[in-house]
Amino acid sequence: MAIPIILRFWLLLIFMIPSILSSIFCLYYFLVDRTLRKALNNHVIIFILFLCLLYNITDIIWLIHYFRTSSSLSSTRIFCLIWVYSDYASYVSISCLTAWASVERHILIFHQNLTATQTKRFLFHYLPLIIFSAYPFIYYIVIFFILPCKTVPDYTMPRCGLVNCVYENASIGLWDGLANNIIPSFIIVIFSLALIGRVWYNKYRMGQRFQWRNYKKLTVQLLSISVLYSAFLFPPMLLYTAYSAGLSYDVGAEFYSSSLFFSYFVTLLIPCVCIVSLPELRTKLYKVTRMYRRVNPIISMRMLPISRLGDGRTARVAPVLS
């Protein structure tokens, strides 16, 4: 069933505000807290959170404006190119980093020797972060700003219809579909399921020798994000794979369109999931909200008996702060 535009507008608007606040909260504590900042498993999450924040304050806000007015925020080709570039580069980078995180968790838990020295840490930790963060931004600069695009902007369409620039060349379109969309989605699901299997297998095979408590946070942190991809992105990617294999585009067209819309909720929900999945952030959030309640006391009116004075006069009792 097609989702009405007005419903899309309200869904994105309602989820965008807490998502942005959660992103800022998480990034602040990840960068300020020395323990959280130095933990290797948090580095990829910091990159993902930053890109989610960038995506939400650009593409999501411009989409909200489009769903409200049915037109682009600016009727210029350069803005449309920036819009479609921001959408593709940020989202694909988040997907690639999440795919790498699902692989890296196996290294951090079962192959710690690969990060034992500075050289190994650079090769198996920092270098992949740099590559998967930078590659989509460089790739889509070439696609949208260097290679010629014959598509004429339509300012009444999302991103002015310039997404067609990716598919004007069949080889480029095939690479974009496989390498940038389908493969990361499958890697996230497959390696996340494999991580669950390996953790449980080692837990029961090795017994007390497998220190589950040491790896619980690493596992839960990744699986919480992977669930979002499995729920919101994997279904449309399955259809996209089928279309690429020759399935008629008439099959499941409305479902495919609606499921692509719900893929926006991956970036909207990742910051909230990070808070829920990490006990350190949950504790800090509790302290912040508790402090807020203390500096903003609630004035409560207490029902107290009225003291009567002489000559029929009464004494009023002032409200008490609690």
The more confident residue out of 8 and 168 is 8
- Give pLDDT, residue 77: 93
Write the CATH number of the domain with boundaries 5-321: 1.20.1070.10
Q: Residue type at 288? A: V
- Note the pLDDT of residue 216: 77
* Contact yes or no for 236/261 (Cβ under 8 A): no
Instruction: Report whether pLDDT(31) > 90.
Output: yes
Which is higher by pLDDT, 213 or 36?
A: 36
Band of pLDDT at residue 222, cut at 50, 70 and 90:
confident
- Which run of H or E residues covers position 79? helix 77-110
Q: Is the pLDDT of residue 27 over 90?
A: yes
Res. 209 pLDDT band, cuts 50 70 90: low
Question: Residue 283: its pLDDT value, please?
Answer: 81
Residue 177, pLDDT > 60, answer yes
What per-residue confidence (pLDDT) applies to 109? 87
Q: Mean per-residue pLDDT for 210-239? A: 80
pLDDT value of position 293? 65
Beta strands in 15-162 (DSSP E): none
Summarised one tens digit per residue, pLDDT across range 244-259 is 777 787 788 888 888 8
Please choose, from the candidates 230, 282, 213, 202, the residue with its C-alpha nearest in 3D space to the C-alpha of residue 26. 282
Residue carrying structure tokens 């593709």: 88
Output the pLDDT for position 213.
65
State the pLDDT confidence band at 80, using cuts at 50, 70 and 90.
very high
Pairwise pLDDT comparison (304 vs 271), residue with the higher score: 271
Highest mean pLDDT among 3-12, 171-180, 273-282: 3-12
pLDDT tens for 48-58 read 999 999 999 99
Place of tokens 């009727």: 75
Cα separations (Å) of 245 from 80, 104, 232, 238, 254?
A: 30, 30, 21, 11, 19
Domain range list for the chain = 5-321
pLDDT at 301 over 60: no
Calculate mean pLDDT across residues 151-158: 91
Best-predicted range by mean pLDDT (16-20, 279-283, 305-309, 311-315): 16-20
Cβ within 8 Å of residue 220, ≥6 positions away: 277
Distances (CA, A) of 153 to 60, 90, 104: 19, 21, 40
Closest residue by Cα to residue 214 from 129, 126, 105: 105
| Dihedral sign (CA 68, 70, 75, 76) | positive
Mean local confidence (pLDDT), 32-52: 92
What residue type is assigned to position 185 of the chain? Answer: S
Instruction: For residue 3, give both structure tokens.
Output: 């989702």
Instruction: Check pLDDT > 80 for residue 106.
Output: yes
Mean pLDDT score across all residues of the chain = 85
Q: Is the pLDDT of residue 133 over 60?
A: yes
Query: What's the average model confidence in pLDDT over 156-173?
Result: 88
Say what the alpha-carbon torsion angle 35, 40, 45, 47 is, to the nearest 10 degrees.
100
pTM of the shown model? 0.85
Statement: residue 178 has pLDDT above 50: yes
pLDDT band at 88 (very low <50, low <70, confident <90, very high): very high
Tokens of 157: 């369409």
The answer on pLDDT for 288 being more than 80 is no
The span from the CA of 94 to the CA of 111, in Å, is 24
- pLDDT at position 212 is 63
**Worst-scoring range by mean pLDDT, 5-9, 66-70, 218-222?**
218-222
Cα–Cα distances (Å) from 103 to 219, 232, 268, in that order, read 12, 20, 23
